[in-house]
Amino acid sequence: MGRYLMRRAISSAIALFIFLTVMFFVTEIVIPQDFTVQFALSMNREEREQLAEELGIDRPLWERYTNWLGRLVQGNLGTSFFGYPVAEYLKGLLPYTLLVFFVGTLIAFLFGQWLGKVVTWRASGVLTTAATFSAIAFYTTFPPWLTFLVTYFLARRINLFRSAFGGRSISEGLTREIWQNSAASPEQVMLYMVAALVAMLAIVLLIGKLLEKRWRWHTPAALQALLFCAGTVGLWFAFGFGRRAIDILALSGLPIVTYVLLSFGDTVLMMRTSMTDTLKEEYVNTARAKGLPDHAIRDRHAARNALLPVFSRLVIGLPYLLTGLVIIEDVLGWPGISGALFNSLYQQDMPVVMGALLMVGILSAVARLVLDVLYAVLDPRVRYRTVFSNHF
């Protein structure tokens, strides 16, 4: 497994390098003017040429690329054309994107695969029709329109979440009484929240694996979800930031719910297709002939194998999901890397553009590596092939 992970990490690094190189040249070609064009009304030609020389954007394209690559090797993302360090700027936005992306992807995947599994097993009926229609409708809907509906109903009509806000800080929307004596910033609390989610997810999966291996007891999905939610909130309060985490959720709820609604439909439809093919396999008929309960056949035999194509689709679609946050962050005013990428493209701020693309690529590579491990756990053929290749 170690060699397998090493190979995957190396291939991910090579793919990331190729991705960044292609995007550097594509972005330069797509944007025909340089950064100084937006100051044409306030600067004369000589001043604009002097500014271009100071920023280094008057140099040949290959020279700009090699200079950027040299800084990247040194761990330096450069300085924005507006004068602030790119690394510090994106570092402050990373927790916002991580919170919405990780929580939203987790909820969308777990809910989508469960719903796809259930409606396929029931074959036909009102639930199947409604679930399929909803999945297609949400997946193909116009994102700004869906964002407006979510904000209107969840924030303004029933006050489930606080309304969206603009700007680059969420301090205006937080409850002042909760944060006045806090030593941790909202960005730090977001990272703690994500770390607790990851830790609790690993604990629940490990407990379920041990119960199934030792006592042959398959933990119901509803019980796993309950343990995960209760355990995560328990960790938040155990480490002393529970009230602040809940306060952040009241603000991040709108982008998370919108992201889930836009992305869960693909998982539902993919799970339905995969589950339909799996139900035709002989081992499912054998399980029925043995007299196993329906829920055991569905969850332990059919759904477990049907998950493999769904995982593959999720791995492939991760970069698109990340860049899909652009619309949500822009419409709701939620500060994040995706929104920064959109704004920097509009302002032709190339150091921020490439820094944001680097962050998106790293997040995609790490997430794909984690999903590769989960894929190997779910598919014994991958484990056996990995072990065989390591020994011979």
Which has the higher per-residue pLDDT, 251 or 368? Answer: 251
Residue 28: predicted pLDDT: 76
Listed in sequence order, the residues at least 6 apart from 227 whose beta carbon sits closer than 8 Å to its beta carbon are 204, 207
What share of the chain in percent tops pLDDT 70?
89
Q: 84 φ, ψ to 5°?
A: -105, 150
- Which of 66-75, 102-111, 267-276, 339-348 has the least mean pLDDT? 339-348
CA-nearest of 347, 304, 356 to 34 is 347
Residue 230: predicted pLDDT: 92
Cβ atoms of 172 and 227 within 8 Å: the answer is no
**With 0-12 CB in 10 A as exposed, 13-18 as middle and 19+ as buried, what is 369?**
middle
Tokens 């979800």 belong to residue: 225
Check pLDDT > 50 for residue 258.
yes
So what's the pLDDT on residue 323? 67
CA distances from 345 to 82, 168, 338 (A): 13, 17, 11
pLDDT the model gives residue 380: 57
Q: What is the pLDDT of residues 156-203, one digit of tens each?
A: 888 777 765 544 456 677 888 888 888 888 889 999 999 999 899 889
pLDDT higher than 50, residue 390: no
- Residue identified by tokens 């280094």 is 56
Q: Are 244 and 180 in contact (CB under 8 A)?
A: no
SS (H, E, C) the chain: CHHHHHHHHHHHHHHHHHHHHHHHHHHHHHCCCCHHHHHCCCCCHHHHHHHHHHHCCCCCHHHHHHHHHHHHHCCCCCECCCCCEHHHHHHHHHHHHHHHHHHHHHHHHHHHHHHHHHHHHHCCCHHHHHHHHHHHHHHHCCHHHHHHHHHHHHHHHCCCCCCCCCCCCCCCCCCHHHHCCCCCCHHHHHHHHHHHHHHHHHHHHHHHHHHHHHHCCCCCHHHHHHHHHHHHHHHHHHCCCHHHHHHHHHHHHHHHHHHHHHHHHHHHHHHHHHHHHHCCCHHHHHHHHCCCCHHHHHHHHHHHHHHHHHHHHHHHHHHHHHHCHHHHHHHHCCCCHHHHHHHHHHHCCHHHHHHHHHHHHHHHHHHHHHHHHHHHHHCHHHHHHHHHHHHC
What residue ranges do the domains of the chain occupy? 2-73, 86-391
The pLDDT, as a whole number, for residue 329 is 81
Q: What is the pLDDT of residue 237?
A: 93
Does 374 have pLDDT greater than 60? yes
pLDDT value, residue 54? 81
% of the chain residues with pLDDT over 90: 8
**The two three-digit tokens of residue 171, written as one number:** 């301090």
* Predicted pLDDT at 170: 67
Q: What is the pLDDT of the chain when averaged over all its residues? A: 81
Q: What angle do CA 72, 318, 88 make, to 5 degrees?
A: 35
What does the pLDDT look like over 11-42, one tens digit per residue?
888 888 888 888 888 877 777 666 777 676 67
How far is it, in rounded angstroms, from Cα 186 to Cα 194? Answer: 13
* Rounded Cα–Cα distance for residues 332 and 137 (Å): 21
Higher pLDDT, 57 or 239: 239
Q: Give CA–CA dist 326/323, Å, rounded.
A: 6
CA distance 258 to 255: 5
